[in-house]
Structure 1
Amino acid sequence: MTTDPAELADRLGRWSSGRGPLYLLLAARLRRLVDDGELRPGAALPPDRVLASALAVGRGTVVAAYEQLRVEGRIVRRQGSGTRVAGPARPGPRETTGAPVFLHLLEQQADDVILLACAAPAEPPPVLLTAYERALSHLAEVTGDIGYHPSGHRQLRDVVADHYTRRGVPTGPEQVLVTNGGQQALSLLARAFVEPGGGVLVEAPTYPGALEAFGEQAASLRTLPPGLHGFEATTRPPSRRPELAYVVSTHHNPTGSVLPPLARRRLAAAAAADVPLVDDEVLAHLAFPGQETPPPLAAFGETVMTVGSLSKSVWGGLRVGWIRAAKPVIDRLARLRAVHDLGGNLPAQLAAAELLPRLETLCQGMAADRRTRHDHLRAQLARQLPQWQAPRVTGGQTLWVRLPHGDGDWAACTATAHSVCGEYGTTTRRWHGVSLSHTHRNRSDTALRTRSASYAEDMTSWWADRDGSPAPAPPRSASRPMVAASGRMWLAASPVRGLRSGGPGDEQPQGSRAAPAAASPQASAEWAGARRRPGRHPSLHRSAAGPRVGTAHGFSAR
């Protein structure tokens, strides 16, 4: 069976970001995949033209790379038989994730590449050091505690419970499970509620880490526009009722939208019938000055499960997250967690307990800077890329930008040639948009205006290059919307330099395709334009359950 070019593009990562001829860079990355066993002996590699299309390079680059590996004895090429990894075919270990959303964290970071795949604080705030100092003083007084707390340290669980109670959701510590970040929270929820082949309803586009967590359970992803509009009609037939639904209700990742109060009430009421609903609130406290943080969905429905984390609001290195849910759910999740992880880092949890009561004040203190970056990036884009549409948002760390033509897949590969580098992956249905993060600082810490101007100039450069190349296939018309079907594409970049991609999908684990969800006229206008193409290139995310959808925004490793 031939290796899927989309999956291979994911595995290749940032292969073109080094120095030297492209064919040598490609050969080097393929060599590593072969030597590491990622490409198994006997595995059939994609044909020259197909892989070249997936990587957005000329066929000659792939031919030369293959020839280099053939001379080294790592692959075998025979006319009529294709290209295969040298050696007899044999079963290998279980495949690991190929999603760039995670693989980029494992890449060696080159000095001349600034990664902007994560829209998150670029450095820990000074208040975190103070919190750790207080936490360590408390730790010195601990006696009679072996340190294993699968449900989380009681002090932090009390603080999280108080946090939700202040926001209008009465909560006790028995309703809180502390996790090692929001990503572990999503993984636990997926293991608890999703059976192989079971349906999971997600937004399109959405946070790719959630798609990977559901994909690990071999979920069948079904999609709706942001806010899960159409939820009631989609879940009404018992045969269509999903096992789980996932929504980012506040400062949606990637579009930045905020679900209105009435829509929150309706969604919570509809989900209460029989569909467990997860409300991802990791971005909830990133409102700009003058904007109110809305109540969580749990304020409108007791059955809603809420995921929180400090990775976006404080720092990604503070691996503390949590799940707020009914006590029976928390007890079940704690038993699942105990098998894989006997408990989190206690000093970090104690530091989080110091920070959480002051979280709103901390976020408000950084809100003006986030809005300044947001406004300046929009101004630079309007001046240098007036064809791009970048609607204003009310919070978060990114912009959602609509491209006038083409798609983010193509743009990502072209941008890479201009050192606007990001994550790699593939997609079968692309969205005509990119997501730009405005959170990262230049390594030399130059002025924000200089960083944003430099970034916009790079974007202008590769966009001009794109316009001088053959135009991509025309998008689907709005009359045939593919609302978040199964693309894996997205792009995220920052005012400095960087690009990434990903998105959600609805393909079956075995590769069969489910029909795309129906779209409202408004959703059609906003989300239409996805299209299929067998060859895709290296800038996008991939779900373990199948390709993903839509362009995404500054992803966060949670």
Structure 2
Amino acid sequence: MALTPADLADRLGRWSSGRGPLYLLLAARLRRLVDEGELPPGAALPPDRALAGALAVGRGTVVAAYEQLRVEGRIVRRQGSGTRVAGPARPGPRETTGAPVFLHLLEPSDDVIQLACAAPTAPPSALLAAYERALPRLATVTDDIGYRPAGHPRLRHAVAAYYARRGLPTEAEQIVITNGGQQALSLLARAFVEPGGRVLVEAPTYPGALEAFGEQAAHLRALPVGLDGFESAVAAPARRPDLAYLVSTHHNPTGAVLPPLVRRRLARAAAAADVPLVDDEVLAHLTFPGHETPPPLAAYAESGVVTVGSLSKSVWGGLRVGWIRAARPVADRLARLRAVHDLGGNLPAQLAAAELLPGFEGLCAELAAERRVRHDHLRAELARLLPEWEVPPAMGGQTLWVRLPHGDGDTFAQAALRHGVAVVPGAGLDASGGSRQHVRLHSFAPTETLTEAARRLATAWGAYGGDHDAGQSPRAMAV
């Protein structure tokens, strides 16, 4: 096992956000990874200078941290053979995720402003009212053990009605309820992707999808945003992909929205080639005032499209309710897979979601103005403090896709972390190895928090200097 410097930097998480000398903070996080088996015996660690570059620190910081661990007997350093975790090499546990967007969620609460993972920070009053309406119904349940791998019938019917309102007739049997959109992607990857199978993705795209496909050892082929070139990519039967994935509305991270003609062309091409096309609509209703949510891709050619939805980004991240809409045979297969995985989800939450969904579009519309205010506020603060950054506006969604004028997103993310802001480097969202000069920010936080985040980013940029090599070798994707 040999980690690249960028991979190890990701696994270190928010290592520098504590108090004390940097070398002790780095040694402490490396010690934890060794003790927990994330860095198994015999694993090769990056050279001093390479790791220092990835972490945007001086070489002396890495040398001192390595020396601390060498004295403790946790690593071995030999001239000519490099630095390794102490102990004979042996098969270690299966690797876990190294994606910063997930690792930030595992960190304890601190004063770091979290711009890496976005969701509403508190449940709206409409959700509390939905629970109040659902609880009496829960009290009447009898003769039901509560294991429902496909989801509670009331919620499946509510999701089907939601799609019917959007012009896509749907039966409840086509719906599988999941614990959020991320579990939906994991189930779809397990259902469709063979080890080594090809998956078409946008570059850049949602990193959680890349992780889900990586769990199945997929071979990712990156296409431009909007899956430009999709028709030719699925035309050759010998190289037919197992799956294609895109975010058609408020694309994560760019905020792009596919026009109707492109939607029709993609959906029909997927149906003709018999390639499952996953339309991730988790962000679809995060539309700003003055814009309408377009119809899902399945409205143009139902047989080729599988649709993913969720309430986590629109309502609250703690409401772990998502769903998959698919042809009934696919839905049945996904329910069987989920039965083995976790037997089903939280039924009280599903009953509350069923109460919430009839007014879902109205709730999203009520919150749209505030989302727009926060998006515009963060862009304005960045333009004022960092005018050299490129920060295009979005029509909706939750993220800003920022291009740095020089340097690279990986090393700047480390500098930003030391100044109290967590951001996502662009390279981790791009299976093509591109987007190295980008970082992803979210604008869901209150305006006063965004003001402070912009101030810290400006301070970090001043300290960073940007004199880092943006042309270094791309990181290895975790697939």
Q: TM-score range by the shorter chain?
A: over 0.9
Q: Is the 8 A contact 2:425 2:438 kept in 1?
A: no
AA partner of residue 403 (structure 2): R
- 1:36-88 deviations in whole A, cap 9, x for unaligned? 12222222222211221222211111110111111112222222232222222
Aligned position for 2:90:
90
- 1:414-469 deviations in whole A, cap 9, x for unaligned? 2223222346897654432222211113xxxxxx2x444333222222222233x6
- 1:85-114 deviations in whole A, cap 9, x for unaligned? 22222222222222222222222222x223
* 1:440–1:471 CA distance, 2 compared to 1 (3 A): same
Aligned position for 1:209:
208
Q: Is the 8 A contact 1:14 1:422 kept in 2?
A: no
Report the Cα distance in structure 1 between the residues aligned to 2:58 and 2:9, rounded to whole angstroms.
Answer: 15
- Alpha-carbon distance, 1:5 to partner: 2.6
What does residue range 63-78 of structure 1 map to in structure 2 within 5 Å? 63-78=63-78
Aligned position for 2:473:
533
Report the Cα distance in structure 1 between the residues aligned to 2:342 and 2:386, rounded to whole angstroms.
Answer: 48
Q: Is the 8 A contact 2:39 2:85 kept in 1?
A: yes
Q: Is the 8 A contact 1:197 1:219 kept in 2?
A: yes
Aligned position for 2:456:
458
Aligned position for 2:243:
244
- 1:114-150 deviations in whole A, cap 9, x for unaligned? 3222111011111111111111110001122121111
1:436 aligned onto 2:434: no
Of the structure 1 ranges 81-90 and 319-328, higher mean CA displacement relative to structure 2 is found in 81-90
Q: Is the 8 A contact 2:66 2:75 kept in 1?
A: yes
Q: Is the 8 A contact 1:99 1:543 kept in 2?
A: no
Q: Is the 8 A contact 1:430 1:532 kept in 2?
A: no
- 1:382-420 deviations in whole A, cap 9, x for unaligned? 222222222222111222222223332232122223222
Aligned position for 1:478:
none
Q: Is the 8 A contact 1:6 1:425 kept in 2?
A: no
Q: Is the 8 A contact 2:52 2:58 kept in 1?
A: yes
Aligned position for 1:114:
113
* 1:338–1:127 CA distance, 2 compared to 1 (3 A): same
3-state secondary structure, aligned to 1:76: strand
Report the Cα distance in structure 2 between the residues aligned to 1:424 and 1:406, rounded to whole angstroms.
Answer: 12
What does residue range 18-29 of structure 1 map to in structure 2 within 5 Å? 18-29=18-29
Q: Is the 8 A contact 2:54 2:410 kept in 1?
A: no
Q: Is the 8 A contact 1:289 1:367 kept in 2?
A: yes
Of the structure 1 ranges 187-196 and 424-433, higher mean CA displacement relative to structure 2 is found in 424-433
Highest relative contact order (Cα 8 Å, sep 6+), 1 or 2?
Answer: 1
What does residue range 29-48 of structure 1 map to in structure 2 within 5 Å? 29-48=29-48
Aligned position for 1:330:
331
Q: Is the 8 A contact 2:180 2:312 kept in 1?
A: yes
Q: Is the 8 A contact 1:176 1:330 kept in 2?
A: yes
Aligned position for 1:544:
478
1:188 aligned onto 2:187: yes
Q: Is the 8 A contact 1:10 1:425 kept in 2?
A: no
Bigger helix share:
2
Report the Cα distance in structure 2 between the residues aligned to 1:422 and 1:71, rounded to whole angstroms.
Answer: 34
TM (normalized to structure 2)?
A: 0.94
Q: Is the 8 A contact 2:120 2:444 kept in 1?
A: yes
Sequence identity (%): 73
Q: Is the 8 A contact 2:412 2:464 kept in 1?
A: yes
* 1:2–1:383 CA distance, 2 compared to 1 (3 A): closer
Aligned position for 1:81:
81
3-state secondary structure, aligned to 2:387: coil
Report the Cα distance in structure 2 between the residues aligned to 1:204 and 1:346, rounded to whole angstroms.
Answer: 36
Q: Is the 8 A contact 1:10 1:426 kept in 2?
A: no
- 1:310-362 deviations in whole A, cap 9, x for unaligned? 00110011111000011011011111111112111100000000011111110
Aligned position for 1:500:
none
3-state secondary structure, aligned to 1:242: coil
- Alpha-carbon distance, 1:471 to partner: 4.8
Report the Cα distance in structure 2 between the residues aligned to 1:433 and 1:462, rounded to whole angstroms.
Answer: 15
- Alpha-carbon distance, 1:380 to partner: 1.7
Report the Cα distance in structure 2 between the residues aligned to 1:59 and 1:222, rounded to whole angstroms.
Answer: 36
- 1:462-484 deviations in whole A, cap 9, x for unaligned? 222233x63535xxxxxxxxxxx
AA partner of residue 351 (structure 2): L
3-state secondary structure, aligned to 1:157: helix
- 1:472-498 deviations in whole A, cap 9, x for unaligned? 35xxxxxxxxxxxxxxxxxxxxxxxxx
Report the Cα distance in structure 2 between the residues aligned to 1:279 and 1:39, rounded to whole angstroms.
Answer: 36
AA partner of residue 54 (structure 2): A
Aligned position for 2:290:
290
Which of 457, 468, 472 aligns to 2:469? It is 472
Report the Cα distance in structure 2 between the residues aligned to 1:33 and 1:200, rounded to whole angstroms.
Answer: 31
Aligned position for 1:404:
405
Of the structure 1 ranges 32-41 and 406-415, higher mean CA displacement relative to structure 2 is found in 406-415
AA partner of residue 343 (structure 1): G
Report the Cα distance in structure 2 between the residues aligned to 1:60 and 1:424, rounded to whole angstroms.
Answer: 24
Q: Is the 8 A contact 2:405 2:437 kept in 1?
A: yes
1:415 aligned onto 2:420: no
Runs of 5+ in structure 2 lacking a partner? none
Aligned position for 2:60:
60
Q: Is the 8 A contact 2:17 2:417 kept in 1?
A: yes
Aligned position for 1:271:
270
Report the Cα distance in structure 2 between the residues aligned to 1:355 and 1:309, rounded to whole angstroms.
Answer: 12
Aligned position for 1:319:
320
3-state secondary structure, aligned to 1:319: coil
Report the Cα distance in structure 1 between the residues aligned to 2:452 and 2:103, rounded to whole angstroms.
Answer: 27
- Alpha-carbon distance, 1:379 to partner: 1.7
- Alpha-carbon distance, 1:367 to partner: 0.5
AA partner of residue 470 (structure 1): D
AA partner of residue 16 (structure 1): S
Q: Is the 8 A contact 1:200 1:222 kept in 2?
A: yes
* 1:532–1:276 CA distance, 2 compared to 1 (3 A): farther
AA partner of residue 322 (structure 1): W
* 1:433–1:39 CA distance, 2 compared to 1 (3 A): closer
AA partner of residue 356 (structure 1): L
Report the Cα distance in structure 2 between the residues aligned to 1:337 and 1:407, rounded to whole angstroms.
Answer: 40
Runs of 5+ in structure 1 lacking a partner? 442-447, 474-530, 537-541, 546-558
Aligned position for 2:102:
102
Report the Cα distance in structure 2 between the residues aligned to 1:455 and 1:311, rounded to whole angstroms.
Answer: 23
- Alpha-carbon distance, 1:543 to partner: 4.6
Aligned position for 1:366:
367
Report the Cα distance in structure 2 between the residues aligned to 1:166 and 1:211, rounded to whole angstroms.
Answer: 31
Report the Cα distance in structure 2 between the residues aligned to 1:452 and 1:153, rounded to whole angstroms.
Answer: 39
* 1:402–1:44 CA distance, 2 compared to 1 (3 A): closer
Report the Cα distance in structure 2 between the residues aligned to 1:374 and 1:3, rounded to whole angstroms.
Answer: 36
TM (normalized to structure 1)?
A: 0.81
* RMSD of aligned Cα (Å): 1.8
* 1:383–1:100 CA distance, 2 compared to 1 (3 A): closer
What does residue range 291-310 of structure 1 map to in structure 2 within 5 Å? 291-303=291-303, 304-310=305-311
AA partner of residue 21 (structure 1): P
